[in-house]
Amino acid sequence: MALRTNSTTDGGSTPDRPEGPDGVPHTHSGTPSGSAVHPVDELLPPVKLVSTGLQHVAAMYAGVVAPPLIVGAGVGLSPAELALLISASLFTAGLATLLQTLGFWKIGARMPFVNGVSFAGVAPMIAIAQEHGPEDALPVIFGAVIVAGLLCFLAAPYFCKLIRFFPPVVQGTVITLIGVSLLPVAVNWARGGAPGAPGFGSMRAIGLAAFTLVAVVLCNRLLRGFWQQLSLLIGLAIGTLLAFPLGLADFGAVRDAKVFALPSPFHFGAPMFDAAAIVSLCIVMIVSMTESTADMLALGKIVDREADEKTLAAGLRADGLATAISPVFNGFAASAFAQNIGLVALTKIRSRFVVAAGGGILILLGLFPVLGSLVSLVPQPVLGGAGIVLFGTVAASGIRTLAEAGMESSANTILVSVSLGVGIIPIAAPTFYDAFPEAVRTLMHSGISAGCVMAVLLNLLFHHAGAARRSTSGDTPGTTVPTATPS
């Protein structure tokens, strides 16, 4: 396989790379000369594998159980059925994560990429539930999720070609927005979960979050080696122990949880296919595909194995297949979890097998609800304190990428400033788009997707649109990018 070099600007395309033995192209940038194994493909010792995998589960657990809690409450499920829906979400998140990290054929990005229940579909699913009533709501939702998953799977090889419109300046903008968009979530966790929750905004909750934040920072500063890599998990454990005497945690959930529960296929009834519901969730799936693409690009930067077209296509196929299969086990759409990207950046552990171990733990939590209840002992304020570190780390990675993207260019400065501004609108004013059509609301309600779309459009304007590209080409020096071609 020969290499050619293409002269390009910051608005140019991302290079292709040679394929690895698993059929997925990758770069070995950052791997010591002569080393046979990239850190992404490194298999760690069992103790380290399980403990760091558990750390990933702790970071994502709240995000996995929140959508089924909200949708289940909207449908009017009983506590027992709600517990089943949560277990199903954990189980299917584990399957999706294994599919993404281990993969087979052309499915799975084979990166330390965590998949879970997409929060983007919560509002449309609640609307579907209100329209169809409690008996038909979940079957209609599951039918629409299956179709949306198939759409994602079939569209993956075409959607991934958008990578040529994701040069470093766009990638850095989107990565920064991922972190910034998640920080309000961490702040609400730090205050106690959500407005209206008991003790929300109390000094006990905020103090516990601050204590956890300090614990994570000090562990990262004072510990060394393996223990430093577990700084987040140690901080979560310390914060949870303090929560008990403060009355912010109890063992009630553990006492009431079942020991074992095998997933029952189509427990809530056979899927039903409603045209309006399908269109709604297909739009959500396109938004999720945009976010997953951005997340894979961000993760590629962090682990020093940049995601190219084939890697993105394989990752999106895994999203689609996992989404299409999830409703069989009473689960919802699967998508990337950006908080775990922050954890990879924080710990410097790049092995995809660590995340695969986390996927295995998620499956066990789904099969053994009593284990899941132990993880749920971690209170929201504790998660909030740790979340500020995680999500801030993602934003810092984006800023680092922007620093390498040629910000002396006036075109790039405008691209970044406008895209960040548009992306922050739904964060600063969540009701800003309420009067817009539903399709626009679905796309723009997420700061990540809104900023991503704006960054891509401005990149097209400044770097790809004929005369506009020529007029700005002198703003920054051209760079030489190697592109793989068949020999």
- Considering the domain boundaries, does residue 13 fall inside one? no
Q: What is the token pair recorded at 234?
A: 């140690």
For residues 105-121, average pLDDT: 86
pLDDT, tens digit (0-9, with 9 covering 90-100), for 420-452: 999 899 888 888 988 888 778 767 877 777 888
For residues 48-62, average pLDDT: 87
pLDDT, tens digit (0-9, with 9 covering 90-100), for 342-383: 889 888 899 999 999 999 999 998 898 777 667 667 788 988
Distance CA 315, CA 328 (A): 21
Q: What is the token pair recorded at 154?
A: 């079939």
pLDDT at res. 253? 63
304 or 255, which is more confident?
Answer: 304
Confidence of residue 40 (pLDDT cuts 50, 70, 90): very high
pLDDT at res. 21? 40
For residues 181-193, average pLDDT: 84
Beta partners for residue 334, in sequence order: 117
Q: What is the token pair recorded at 469?
A: 């590209």
pLDDT at res. 352? 94
Report how far apart the first and last C-alpha atoms of the chain are (Å, whole number). 4
- Considering the domain boundaries, does residue 476 fall inside one? no
134 or 474, which is more confident?
Answer: 134
pLDDT at res. 372? 67
pLDDT, tens digit (0-9, with 9 covering 90-100), for 454-486: 988 999 898 877 645 455 444 444 333 333 333
Q: How many domains in the chain?
A: 1
Distance CA 182, CA 394 (A): 9
Length of the chain: 487
What number of other Cβ atoms are within 10 A of residue 422's Cβ?
20
- Considering the domain boundaries, does residue 115 fall inside one? yes
| Highest mean pLDDT of the ranges 24-38, 316-330, 458-472 | 316-330
- Considering the domain boundaries, does residue 28 fall inside one? no
Short-list 334, 331, 351, 332, CA closest to 343: 351
Distance CA 358, CA 56 (A): 6
pLDDT at res. 272? 92
Residue 29 predicted with pLDDT over 50 = no
pLDDT, tens digit (0-9, with 9 covering 90-100), for 263-276: 889 988 899 998 87
- Considering the domain boundaries, does residue 7 fall inside one? no
Short-list 354, 432, 456, 308, CA closest to 55: 354
pLDDT at res. 373? 67
Mean pLDDT of all residues belonging to the chain: 80
Residue 334 belongs to what H/E stretch? Answer: strand 334-336
Short-list 429, 428, 450, CA closest to 177: 450
pLDDT at res. 376? 67
Residue 223 predicted with pLDDT over 90 = no
Percent of the chain with pLDDT over 70: 85
pLDDT at res. 33? 44
- Considering the domain boundaries, does residue 82 fall inside one? yes
pLDDT, tens digit (0-9, with 9 covering 90-100), for 399-426: 888 887 777 888 889 999 999 999 899 8
pLDDT at res. 9? 40
Short-list 177, 167, 180, 179, CA closest to 406: 167
Residue 13 predicted with pLDDT over 70 = no
Strand, coil or helix: 247:
coil
pLDDT at res. 169? 87
- How buried is residue 204: exposed, middle or buried, by Cβ count under 10 Å (0-12/13-18/19+)? middle
- Considering the domain boundaries, does residue 475 fall inside one? no
Q: Backbone phi, then psi, for 455, in 5-degree steps? A: -65, -40
Q: What is the token pair recorded at 460?
A: 């097209």
Show the domain range for 267. 41-468
pLDDT at res. 150? 95
Distance CA 397, CA 134 (A): 44
Distances (CA, A) of 16 to 88, 312, 471: 38, 12, 27
Distances (CA, A) of 445 to 19, 278, 424, 463: 37, 19, 10, 27
Residue 406 DSSP one-character state: -
pLDDT at res. 466? 62
- Considering the domain boundaries, does residue 481 fall inside one? no
The alpha helices in 244-303, defined as continuous H runs, are 252-256, 275-303
Among 115-124, 334-343, 344-353, which is the least confidently predicted range?
115-124
